[in-house]
Structure 1
Amino acid sequence: MQRRTRIKICGITRREDAQFVAEAGADAIGLVFVEASPRAVDIDTGVALRRIVPPFVQVVALFMDASSETVDRVVRAVAPDLLQFHGREEARFCSAFGRPYLKTVAAGAGHADLGAACAAYPDAAALLVDGHAPGEMGGSGRHVARSALVGASHHPLILAGGLRPDNVAAAVQQFRPWAVDVSSGVEHAPGIKDRERIAQFITEVARADEQQPE
């Protein structure tokens, strides 16, 4: 039986985008709680978006070197299903909020050591490999090169960075990740999603899955 690649659409800032993403068939939406990001949302917006997300679509709250107080406020108010950490957070910090978490591994510095990341974050739900350099935010649109991945991951792998409707099928076939994560590749502008691109992206992921050997 063929495995279906899961899809997360990140950087949601508007109700209409959250509704469309869910209706189009995405498995998760990402809410960015990083003030410096052009896709940042505040807690009130996060609560409003959370309320309209239907069952079986997960809400992921993204942080980068946030204080424990900030993460705790978001967890209590928004009740995300998953947390995603993009900074220098240690495993003990990531696991302290009663939610499963994803840890980002930056591949933009030339390589991403998946084995070391697994050892450093043994309780992570998955590793998210992105094309940005260490210390930078996601949503950069930079690709991950297969040659940049070093070692083996014992966690599910989520692929991000530079994915678009015209290249995601090839990326799925090359990396065979558990999930793909897209933000800038399906936008008109930062935080403003493009419905046609979202629909095309989801269609292309399904097409790639159909072409994979069982």
Structure 2
Amino acid sequence: MLVKICGITSLEVANLAIDAGADFIGFVFAESKRKISMEYAEEISREIPKHVKKVGVFVNESLDVVRKISTVVGLDYVQLHGDESPTYCDQISVPVIKAIQMKHKHDVTKLDQYNVDYFLLDSPPGKYRGGNGDTFDWSLVKHVSKGSDQIFLAGGLHSGNVYQAIKEVQPIGVDVSSGVESNGKKDPEKMLAFIREAKKKGD
């Protein structure tokens, strides 16, 4: 099971996530309490081992900005959390993770419109696109026509529910941000507990 820890804001937090077993770390370049500058993300990125994939999160950003940040920071993936079109996604040279907000059964049909590497199925937006700590009805994923090897599950996951979520949805990976935080900061014990639960073998 792949695990992505999103909302990395310092090298210290990045190292804690990697030590806990994270496969992907996410930098948020959109409006968020976890937003990071391109310059600081590039500094952190230099210290990240190659086997850990670096993801940049964007919301309705211009292609030029996405391309520049991707190049400067050395992103392995671009995660698009806004209303980006399939054509927009096709113009990005690094692999794309397209976030789809899951509210109704018909939301799964949006996946068929995109030719991307992964889909991140997330809760409907609150104040920000993603990172709001709410789950959605996982049964909606049963209607997804794409293979589960293309699905990352997000939205309100934490160490207490991630194992059940994985059993129900069978994604290739899970994504967490607020679910491994205490008082708005990444919590080493919560990250470790989350990754342990996510990667434990099922019955």
- TM-score between the two structures when normalised by the length of structure 1: 0.88
1:211 aligns with 2:178: no
- Partner in structure 2 of residue 72 of structure 1: 67
The structural deviation recorded for 1:166 is 1.0
Compute the RMSD of aligned alpha carbons: 1.7
Task: Give, as a single letter, the amino acid of the residue that structure 1 aligns with 2:7.
Answer: G
The structural deviation recorded for 1:148 is 2.8
Cα distance in 1 for residues equivalent to 2:128 and 2:101: 8
Q: Does the 8 A contact of 1:113 with 1:151 survive in 2?
A: no
The structural deviation recorded for 1:95 is 2.6
The structural deviation recorded for 1:134 is 8.9
- Partner in structure 1 of residue 89 of structure 2: 94
1:139 aligns with 2:143: no
Cα distance in 1 for residues equivalent to 2:70 and 2:118: 19
Aligned-residue sequence identity (percent) comes to 32
Give matches, 1:63-212, under 5 Å. Answer: 63-107=58-102, 109-111=103-105, 113-114=107-108, 116-121=109-114, 123-133=115-125, 136-149=128-141, 150-154=143-147, 156-190=150-184, 192-207=185-200, 210-212=201-203
Cα distance in 2 for residues equivalent to 1:111 and 1:11: 28
| Aligned with residue 12 of structure 1, among 4, 8, 15 | 8
- Partner in structure 1 of residue 46 of structure 2: 51
Unmatched segments (≥5 aa) in structure 1:
none
The structural deviation recorded for 1:20 is 1.3
Cα distance in 2 for residues equivalent to 1:179 and 1:42: 26
Q: Which moved more, 1:53-62 or 1:90-99?
A: 90-99
The CA deviation string for residues 84-109 of structure 1, in whole angstroms up to 9 with x for no partner, is: 001110122123121010101101x3
Q: Does the 8 A contact of 2:32 with 2:128 survive in 1?
A: no
Cα distance in 2 for residues equivalent to 1:76 and 1:55: 16
Cα distance in 2 for residues equivalent to 1:87 and 1:24: 29
The CA deviation string for residues 44-80 of structure 1, in whole angstroms up to 9 with x for no partner, is: 1110111111120000001000011211220121110
